Amino acid sequence: MILLAAIYGGWWLLPAFLFMSTPAPLDRALGVDGRSMDPENTPERRLLWHNLPVWAWAFLWPPTLVFGMWQILVADQHAIWEDVFLVIILTMEAQAVFVVGHELIHRRSAWERRLGEFLLASASYPQYATEHVYIHHAQVGTPRDVGSAPKGESFWRYFPREVASNLTNSWTAVRERLARRRLSVWHYSNPFWRYGIAVAFWYGLVFWMSGFWAVPVFAFLGLSCVFSMKMSNYFQHYGLRRVRLPNGRWEKVMPRHSWSADWKFSNWMFFNMQRHADHHAVASRHYPLLQVHGAPESPELPGTYGDMMNIVLRPRRWFKKMDPLVDQWRKHYYPEIDDWSAYDSAISAARPDAFEAINEIFAAAPRLARSIERNPELLDNLQDREFTDLDLPKGFGPDPESETIARRGLTRLYWAHEMGVPEMKDRIAELPAADAKDSVEIVRNWSNDKAFQIGMHVVRRNLSPDEAKTALSNLAEASISTVLAAVVADFADQVGSLRGCGAAAIFLGDLASREAYPGVSVDVLFVHDGRRIGDNERLCRRFRRSLTDLAEDSLLFSPIRSGPTALPAAPFSKLAEHCTNSASGNIPAITRARSAFECGDSDIGRRFSDAHRAAVGACGADEALIARLREPAENPAEPGVSVYARMRGGLDHVERAARFLQLTRAGAGLDDPAPTARAVFNRAGAEPLARAAAMWRDLQGIAGLVGEEGLDAAAARPKVKSLVANACGHDDFHALESAVAETASRAAAEIDTLLARA
């Protein structure tokens, strides 16, 4: 029919076009097939009658394509619309011939495989012969296989990645195979020589027929053929995954790992191509012998291939149709798995070598998971010797308990004692930076790396939240002070020495009391001596811009919101006024204020200390302020793990009580300008409140690690709840919930008693 269409054109174009358009309606008309040949008892000679049409299509297609192109490009005997129609027919047929090429590259005889490669080259895609057999079949259903689209990935995102990876991955596979044989990549046995010659033949033929302009047109038509093939590949594997076994290997490929269909006419026309599940389960099985598996063994597409192609290009309709079926598949075959997020994430496809770590992170720490999705290079830190020397492998000790003690001891010693602020500054100083802007980027990347390592030690129970708090506080101070020092160096180069003026960065709140956690606010006040006002204000503006950039896309700091109240600056004379007015929940910011960076005037540190003591004393004498600290919080939340800060006896309530004590009677005995609530209570002899403060800070630290602010821990996945509970010293989440309710109740009663006595 195609030859007649190419010779005569006109109405002769219609039969071939209609025939290539019949599978979808005829599938509906004829229904499902259901018949299977017995592969065990079918001799090879009986397959001759099935092989003849395969070989016939393979041998007839090249001369048919050449003749069709001759009629279009050289003979020029048809009208333009006839040529266009003939091009469409040839492209539709090429899509079907791709199925024949696919079948032939799986054959054992070399001549059939070479013929299959030549057919694929007519669509400009011969590398598929290597990628499909040696990569797709080996890695199907795993994040390593780009051809197995994860749930939630649209075809439009899938297609360019799949086409590009086919070329790069096939070349990599060939290079590695040759290297194992100690052969050069340019050795004559490299199949890319054959691929190149075959593609050159087709493009050379097109160029000879009609010149340069026809070459990109031929390439486009080949791409359209590949486009159709990738559509089927997309829905044949969408959302289906092989599970990682405890031994680190992927489970065996089974019929459950591919979508199948079994419509009668398509089976006849396309050599059982729809029985894709059996094709992957037994890749060497000839198409006539492919088996049809029922729903208990293999998932079935909810329609014909034509139906699927009608919706695959419309992501919303596709997800609405297929995602519930993927969820049903997961519940049916893997009821024990409740979290598939690592299997569905793009990071698993980008970094399949790190899948075990990715799965661990997604299961237990969603916030870290979002970080590695944005910055996959963070995973490299898990191979850093700084991390591996502390995260000792299992089996090195006499028993698991001894291993845990040794691992925790090493990690705690390193991060809580050896890696202090000076050591971190020295490490950062070894990294070359051209100017302050460069320093910000370098410090942000370095601090993200270290925060990720610390977070992973918490996930693996090598560090407790309290120990991680020390490490993260040191990291925050080292990062901020290094960036500010770079700003000062740039500023001095431009305007001269800072002699005669001075400025300091004052940490407030959690940064000041060294209670940092992932997502901590950059609560910093810049103070200056009031001299050379113009220079000081310009310097503080640069400080503000640099810290804003530092906190952008940071694993350690929360973003700094723009506005007049963000990172303010004030002279010493207004320190008390500013820190009182910038109170949070009626708690004066001055109660936790520490100078973390100073520049210019060498006496600025002493001046801050004097001003700080005066401001704290003024707050203690402010009866209205003290009265406000005694008032209970409005609308406290019911006790619960997720609302540890807002309930009676929770973090906010305990902090208010601690600052009340600090300003009225306990603060005089504390040398720390930014004492923790636990330190204040211990000084006052209120041990139950000190324990409550420690528990709320542990919860704050682990909540910041595993989720964003407002994390509903009670609704989290089981491994997240387990990590939160274990980090707070409890065996399970139920025990943690009970401890939270009991601790909050006791803390609230203790605070009431304390305030009544006061």
Q: Give the CA distances from residue 648 to residues 520, 699, 746, 749, in Å, rounded to whole numbers and listed in that order.
A: 23, 16, 10, 9
Q: Is 650:696 a contact under the CB 8 Å cutoff?
A: yes
Give the angle subtended at the CA of 682 by the CAs of 676 and 685, to the nearest 5°: 145
Considering the chain, what percentage of its residues have pLDDT values greater than 90? 53
- pLDDT of 159 over the 90 cut: yes
Among 297-306, 627-636, 710-719, the range of highest mean pLDDT = 297-306
Higher-confidence position of 552 and 42: 552
What is the C-alpha radius of gyration for the chain, rounded to an integer number of angstroms? 35
- pTM equals 0.83
How, if at all, do strands 524-528 and 502-508 pair? antiparallel
Q: What is the largest CA-CA distance in the chain?
A: 107
- pLDDT of 658 over the 70 cut: yes
Spatial distance between the Cα atoms of 617 and 376, rounded to a whole number of angstroms: 50
- pLDDT of 584 over the 60 cut: no
- Return the structure tokens found at 443: 């410090």
Q: Is 324 helix (H, G, I), strand (E, B) or coil?
A: helix
Who contacts 154 (Cβ-Cβ below 8 Å, separation ≥6)?
315, 318, 319
Q: What is the pLDDT of residues 500-545, one digit of tens each?
A: 677 889 999 999 999 999 999 999 998 887 666 667 788 888 999 9
pLDDT given for residue 698 in this prediction: 94
- Kindly state the average pLDDT of the residues 595-613: 83
Q: What is the pLDDT of residues 134-157, one digit of tens each?
A: 999 999 999 889 999 999 999 999
Region label for 365, one of left (φ > 0), alpha (ψ between -120 and 50) or beta (otherwise)? beta
Spatial distance between the Cα atoms of 150 and 471, rounded to a whole number of angstroms: 37
CA–centroid distance for 468 within its chain: 23
Amino acid at 569: A
Q: Is 525:578 a contact under the CB 8 Å cutoff?
A: yes
pLDDT given for residue 44 in this prediction: 77
- Kindly state the average pLDDT of the residues 64-83: 88
pLDDT given for residue 196 in this prediction: 95
pLDDT given for residue 235 in this prediction: 94
- Kindly state the average pLDDT of the residues 377-406: 86
- For 249, other C-beta atoms within 10 Å of its C-beta total 9
pLDDT given for residue 709 in this prediction: 61
pLDDT given for residue 581 in this prediction: 59
- pLDDT of 599 over the 90 cut: no
- pLDDT of 295 over the 90 cut: no
- Among candidates 586, 591, 522, which has minimal Cα distance to 557? 522
Give the mean pLDDT of the chain: 89
- pLDDT of 498 over the 70 cut: no
pLDDT given for residue 710 in this prediction: 64
pLDDT bracket for residue 711 (50, 70, 90): confident
| Domains by residue range for the chain, with CATH | 2-36+48-333 (no CATH), 341-383 (no CATH), 388-621 (3.30.460.10), 641-757 (no CATH)
Spatial distance between the Cα atoms of 365 and 457, rounded to a whole number of angstroms: 12
pLDDT given for residue 105 in this prediction: 93
**Which DSSP helix (H) or strand (E) runs through 228?**
helix 214-237
Q: Is 373 helix (H, G, I), strand (E, B) or coil?
A: helix
Give the angle subtended at the CA of 328 by the CAs of 323 and 330, to the nearest 5°: 95
- Among candidates 747, 736, 729, which has minimal Cα distance to 640? 736
Q: Give the CA distances from residue 173 to residues 63, 106, 135, 548, in Å, rounded to whole numbers and listed in that order.
A: 32, 17, 8, 45
- Kindly state the average pLDDT of the residues 224-244: 93
Region label for 737, one of left (φ > 0), alpha (ψ between -120 and 50) or beta (otherwise)? alpha
pLDDT given for residue 713 in this prediction: 83
Q: What is the pLDDT of residues 361-374, one digit of tens each?
A: 998 998 999 999 99
Spatial distance between the Cα atoms of 356 and 453, rounded to a whole number of angstroms: 16
Q: Is 681:745 a contact under the CB 8 Å cutoff?
A: no
- Kindly state the average pLDDT of the residues 717-745: 92
- pLDDT of 668 over the 60 cut: no
Of 300-304, 361-365, 390-394, 481-485, the poorest mean pLDDT is in 390-394
- Kindly state the average pLDDT of the residues 220-230: 90
Position of tokens 């489970």? Answer: 251
Spatial distance between the Cα atoms of 229 and 440, rounded to a whole number of angstroms: 47
Q: Is 194:127 a contact under the CB 8 Å cutoff?
A: no
Q: 19-33 burial, b for 16+ CB within 10 Å, e for fewer?
A: ebeebbebbeeeeeb
Region label for 141, one of left (φ > 0), alpha (ψ between -120 and 50) or beta (otherwise)? left
pLDDT bracket for residue 618 (50, 70, 90): confident
Spatial distance between the Cα atoms of 235 and 302, rounded to a whole number of angstroms: 11
pLDDT bracket for residue 442 (50, 70, 90): very high
pLDDT given for residue 636 in this prediction: 84
- pLDDT of 30 over the 70 cut: yes
pLDDT bracket for residue 552 (50, 70, 90): very high
pLDDT given for residue 615 in this prediction: 83
pLDDT bracket for residue 328 (50, 70, 90): very high
pLDDT given for residue 532 in this prediction: 63
pLDDT bracket for residue 439 (50, 70, 90): very high
Considering the chain, what percentage of its residues have pLDDT values greater than 70? 96
- Kindly state the average pLDDT of the residues 604-620: 83
pLDDT given for residue 567 in this prediction: 87
Q: What is the pLDDT of residues 160-175, one digit of tens each?
A: 999 999 999 999 999 9
